Amino acid sequence: MPRIRGFLLDFGGVSAPLSVFSAAIATPAPPAARGERAPGHAPADTTRAQHRRPVFAAARRAARGIYRRVSRGGSTGVRRGGRDGCVMRRAARRGAQSAPRRNSRCAHAQRTLTPELSAALLCPLMLNRMTPARATLGLALLALLVTLGCRSGPEIGGEGPRLSRAGRRPPQPLPSPMRAIWVARYHYRTPGDVRRIMARCAALGANTVLWQVRGEGTVAYPSRLEPWSREFDFRDPGYDPLALAVSEAHRRGLRLEAWVNVMPGWRGSAPPPVKSQLYHAHPDWFVADARGRRQPLGDFYVILNPCRPEVRRHIANVIAEIATNYDVDGVHLDYVRFAWDGIPNARARFPRDAQTLALYRRETGRTPDEDPVAWDAWRAAQVTRTVAEARQALRRARPGATLTAAVWNDPDEGYREYLQSGPAWLRAGLVDALLPMAYSERPAAFVADIETHRAAVPGGRIVPGVGVYKLKSAAGLEAQLAACARWGGDWALFSYDALFPTGRDPNAYDPVQDLRRRVVVAAARE
């Protein structure tokens, strides 16, 4: 029996009821409880009933305590003891794809624990047919069942793993120099892909991976807010790609920033097949013209309307969900602009829905046509509000995590065409770094774009985005990386599939990719 007690303690135990269970286990049952007659005692069944009473009371107290704590949204009294420490910390160190988590919300906790709680509440009735020895053993096993149910049961609704604050790895600051690689959502599907990508990024000399987790109103991790991405056929792939990516990155000394496409809500010629996707669930969240018509479906993203407070709140909630449930070192924002590509006269047409116009009139007292410059400034301010609310959500959920943003290569053009104010975000401290997408085959154009950003925010952290996919020669890539070295050595390479094979044959040889890799490795060693 002491071995049973140790077994429970190694798994954490349940603090309040465990003292009752362990004491009962350690105390041998009286002869009457074993069905024997002891001198001067009543028949065995009467004594058995007498010895059951304190056990009933203990079980009732334990069940009530567990139920009260869970129904209030609190913990179930899980202890963090045991030789190997907390189960959650061990899982985090191993990088388990589906790490255990505590149930912190009443409704989800009750749904998760219904079988266990029902058993706990009915336990005193079942004990009527048990001897105290069997009852205490049953209660001990019940305690273990409730403990494991509370600690590792997946919550209904697909929420990602919840990590205890005590067992979390603190976020790492921006390295100097920062050497990052963008890894898009279509670069990985299997656990083997994730591990291979991280190993290759580390071998290349990178220290940061920009890992895409949200592309078009769908995500690549278990979420309560958005469905799985089309890259996983809109369903759970059987593992948590983001949890595995974080674990594999950290194991190799890499930082990982969760890359989030902010404004895109869908892309394709047909609507999403999942009815919970934003295109179906919140059609009013998308930009619309004066007649209430959304962007046409096609080859370009249809985008969310950042002028609507509920859209900004949703984006902030997505970021908070990621930062709460995963040990990411930061969040990387992309498409933080009115990305209305492919639509003629889009800047004048969108958004002109009734609610947006009412919000504009309420805040400014004007209509868009009265002052087009003011209308542009107001819409740009809503994009900036989106960044500010994302920053606030990230700070609350994961203090110390960094926020970076990919921005248009030319800041003036970014504002003029897409109402993006990247330099203003950096000056205001809303982001920690800007990554201008200065993708060009011509070194002179690349240098001009980066110098423009550096002049717009003197002393601000500008990490040049290098369009590796456009560079076919060693000389062109060497020239751009040499310019990065003159600016301090920061660079971000777009993207992984320009450097390594992906898809069905991840080991295929491509001479251009091999050439690029050699140039990058040499630059990283300097």
H-helix or E-strand containing 467? Answer: strand 465-467
503-526 pLDDT, tens digit each: 888 999 999 999 999 999 999 998
DSSP result, 59-91? HHHHHHHHHHHHHTT----B---STT--HHHHH
132-173 pLDDT, tens digit each: 455 444 544 444 443 444 333 333 234 445 554 556 899 999
Structure tokens at 461: 């952290």
216-257 pLDDT, tens digit each: 999 999 999 999 999 999 999 999 999 999 999 999 999 999
Poorest-pLDDT segment among 47-51, 249-253, 332-336, 346-350: 47-51
The pLDDT of residue 165 is: 54
Which of these, 464, 459, 462, lies nearest to 483 by C-alpha position? 464
Split at pLDDT 50, 70, 90, the class of 33 is: very low
Structure tokens at 101: 């988590």
pLDDT of 380 over the 80 cut: yes
The pLDDT of residue 299 is: 94
pLDDT of 379 over the 70 cut: yes
Split at pLDDT 50, 70, 90, the class of 29 is: very low
- Rounded Cα distance, 326 and 255, in Å: 13
DSSP result, 155-199? PTT-------GGGPPPPPPPPSS-EEEEE-GGG--SHHHHHHHHH
Split at pLDDT 50, 70, 90, the class of 386 is: very high
- Rounded Cα distance, 249 and 254, in Å: 5
Structure tokens at 332: 């990387």
Q: Is 479:454 a contact under the CB 8 Å cutoff?
A: no
pTM more than 0.95:
no
DSSP result, 106-131? HHHHHHHHHHHHHHHHHHHHHGGGS-
Which residue type does 169 have? R
Beta-sheet strand order (sheet of 433-436): 433-436, 402-407, 330-334, 255-261, 208-214, 179-183, 491-494, 465-467
The pLDDT of residue 1 is: 38
- Rounded Cα distance, 486 and 446, in Å: 13
The pLDDT of residue 163 is: 54
Mean predicted lDDT score pLDDT of the chain: 79
Gap between the terminal Cα atoms of the chain: 63
The pLDDT of residue 149 is: 41
The pLDDT of residue 2 is: 37
110-137 pLDDT, tens digit each: 333 333 334 333 343 343 444 545 544 4
43-60 pLDDT, tens digit each: 344 444 444 444 445 445
Split at pLDDT 50, 70, 90, the class of 343 is: confident
180-221 pLDDT, tens digit each: 999 999 999 999 999 999 999 999 999 999 999 999 999 999
Which of these, 279, 271, 388, 387, lies nearest to 335 by C-alpha position? 387
Distances (CA, A) of 93 to 148, 308, 330: 19, 40, 19
Domain ranges of the chain: 2-166, 169-525
The pLDDT of residue 526 is: 84
The pLDDT of residue 340 is: 92
Fold assignment, 169-525: TIM Barrel (3.20.20)
DSSP 231: G
Split at pLDDT 50, 70, 90, the class of 342 is: confident
- Rounded Cα distance, 312 and 57, in Å: 52
Which residue type does 311 have? V
Cβ neighbour number for residue 459 with a 10 Å cutoff? 8
- Rounded Cα distance, 389 and 501, in Å: 37
Split at pLDDT 50, 70, 90, the class of 14 is: very low
289-298 pLDDT, tens digit each: 999 999 999 9
Which of these, 164, 138, 136, lies nearest to 150 by C-alpha position? 164
Nearest 5°: phi and psi at 256? -135, 125
The pLDDT of residue 358 is: 98
Q: Is 145:112 a contact under the CB 8 Å cutoff?
A: no
Nearest 5°: phi and psi at 197? -60, -45
